[in-house]
Amino acid sequence: MNTYKFPVHHVKMPDDTYRVYDHKTDNSLMVAPSLGTTMAIGAANGATLGLADTMTPEKRLEAAAQQHLVNTGRGGCKITRGYLLQKPLFEFWFECPTA
């Protein structure tokens, strides 16, 4: 997680404003829900001793990652895979067409 560039990019989607970080050298993005949503997820997990599934669905995080690519002039690039880094952070890898 320390290899992602700052500042954070905010991507407004219909359900939330996501935080997106570009990797310094790889074609990957780290995506998290807004701070408010992240705090709510943490509070709900604590209150239910981790039994409640309060995570933002991966598809919503992936959509925010794809929108970030569009917003940054990389609309031709496509997300190829993603996985949970640490609740609620996801990492998504993408490929871009070669010229």
pLDDT tens digit string along 66-83?
999 999 999 999 999 999
pLDDT band of 24, cuts 50, 70, 90? confident
Q: What is the pTM of this model?
A: 0.80
pLDDT band of 37, cuts 50, 70, 90? confident
Instruction: Express each pLDDT in 50-64 by its tens digit.
Output: 555 556 789 999 999
Phi, psi of 70 (to 5 degrees): -60, -45
Structure token digits, residue 8:
């954070």
